[in-house]
Structure 1
Amino acid sequence: MITVLSDTHSRSGNELEGRAKRAVEESDAVVHAGDFVNAAALDAFEAVADRLYAVYGNNATPEVRDRLPPERTFEIEGVRFVLTHGDDRGATGLSLLGRQQAADAVVFGHSHRHAATDAEDVLLLNPGSHADPRGGTPTHAELRVADGEERTDARLVGEIRHRDGSVVETFEIE
């Protein structure tokens, strides 16, 4: 399983609770789209995630910016991801970024609102914020390899989940 999070906005820890905490502990990889805020929060994620792919966000301290890039591209389970915190690019700019990097998915945060949007050749995935939803729903995303009973063209199937474990939205990465 791959757990995707963003916008922790902590100065002391990872702020993981409920389903998000269990998902991170059970994941093969954790993807974080930034805004840990400071090194203590980043350290707390590194302590619980065996494999962490992360970028810094707009609220990162200089220490976090020294340790993480603003953007990165990587592959998990044969799926190519572009990871960025997000900015004023909007859906068009994010999908262009994905196509430029030959990615299957662009993971971003910043808005604290979850979304999984099919932008033609690339999925735009915002897991929302598990810790600071700013009046919205505390969410994260979970991805797993599609099995034989699911659509044959999907490589990964995903769910955006509430902190209580309920599924808010489902999506696929082809």
Structure 2
Amino acid sequence: MITVVSDTHSRSGHELAGRAKEAVEEADVVVHAGDFLNGAALDAFEAVSDRLYGVYGNNATPDVRDRLPPERTFEVEGVRFVLTHGDDRGATGLSLLGRQQAADVVVFGHSHRHAVSEGEDVLLLNPGSHADPRGGVPTHVELRPTDGDAGTDARLSGEIRHRDGSVVESFEIE
């Protein structure tokens, strides 16, 4: 399983709760789209994650900025991801970033609100914030390989999940 989080705004440890905590601890890969806030929070995520891909956010302290890039590209389960924090580029700019990196998915945060939408030739995915949803729903994302289940072309099935574990929205990554 791949767990995607953002905007945890943790100050001492990962400060995860509910299903988000379980999902990070169970995940083979954790993707964090920024705003750990400080080195203690980043250390806590590294301690509970088998493999962590993270970027720093606009609220990161210098020690986090020294340890993480502002954006990165990686591949998991045959899906190419671009990870960034800010969504100030808008859908067009995020789609362009994805195309420039030959990505299937652009993961971003910053708004604290979950979203999944089709950009130009790329899926745009914001996991929201489980900690501070700013008037929205406390969420994270869980991705699982489909292994060719039920004749689908999808490589990953995805769910945006509420902190209580309920599914807010389902989607597929082809």
Query: Smaller-chain TM-score range?
Result: over 0.9
**Deviations, residues 91-139 of structure 1 (Å, cap 9, x unaligned):** 0000000000000000000000000101141100000001111222110
Structure 1 letter corresponding to 2:61: T
Q: What one-letter code is carried by the residue in structure 1 that aligns with 2:71?
A: E
- Residue 75 of structure 1 corresponds to which residue in structure 2? 75
Find the counterpart in structure 2 of residue 17 from structure 1.
17
Distance 2:48 2:153 in 1: 32
CA distance in 2, matches of 1:105, 1:46: 23
Q: 1:89 and 2:89 equivalent?
A: yes
Superposition deviation, residue 150 in structure 1: 4.1
Task: Tell me the TM-score normalized by structure 1.
Answer: 0.97
Structure 1 residue 13: deviation in Å?
1.7
Could you tell me whether the CA contact under 8 Å between 2:87 and 2:94 is conserved in 1? no
Q: 2:121 and 2:166 mapped to 1: Cα distance?
A: 28
| TM-aligned CA deviation for residue 39 of structure 1 | 0.6
| CA displacement at 1:148 relative to structure 2 | 3.6
Equivalent in the alignment of 2:131:
131
Question: Partner of 2:155 in structure 1?
Answer: 155
Which residue in 2 is equivalent to 1:31?
31
Structure 1 residues without counterparts, runs of 5 or longer: none
Distance 1:57 1:139 in 2: 18
Instruction: Report the Cα offset of residue 87 of structure 1.
Output: 3.6
Asked if residue 54 in structure 1 is aligned to residue 57 in structure 2, the reply is no
Amino acid at match of 2:123: L
Give the drift of 1:152.
2.1
Give the TM-score of the pair, scaled to structure 2.
0.97
Pair 1:100-2:100 in alignment? yes
Distance (Å, rounded) in 1 between the aligned partners of 2:149 and 2:77: 18
Range that drifts further, 10-19 or 64-73: 10-19
CA distance in structure 2 between the aligned counterparts of 1:106 and 1:54, rounded to whole angstroms: 13
- For residues 135 and 88 of structure 2, the distance between their equivalents in structure 1, rounded to whole angstroms, comes to 21
Q: Which SS does the other structure have where 1:134 is aligned?
A: coil
Structure 2 CA distance for aligned equivalents of residues 3 and 100 of structure 1: 24
Matches within 5 A, 1:154-173: 154-173=154-173
In 1, Cα distance between the equivalents of 2:19 and 2:150? 23
Q: 1:18 to 1:156 in 2, by over 3 A?
A: same
Count residues in correspondence: 174
Which ranges in structure 2 are unaligned for 5 or more consecutive residues?
none
Structure 1 runs of 4+ with >6 Å offset = none
Q: Name the amino acid aligned to 2:100.
A: Q
* Offset at residue 151 of structure 1 (A): 5.1
Q: Separation in 2 of the partners of 1:40 and 1:16?
A: 13
Identity of aligned residues (%): 85
- Bigger mean CA offset, 144-153 vs 127-136: 144-153
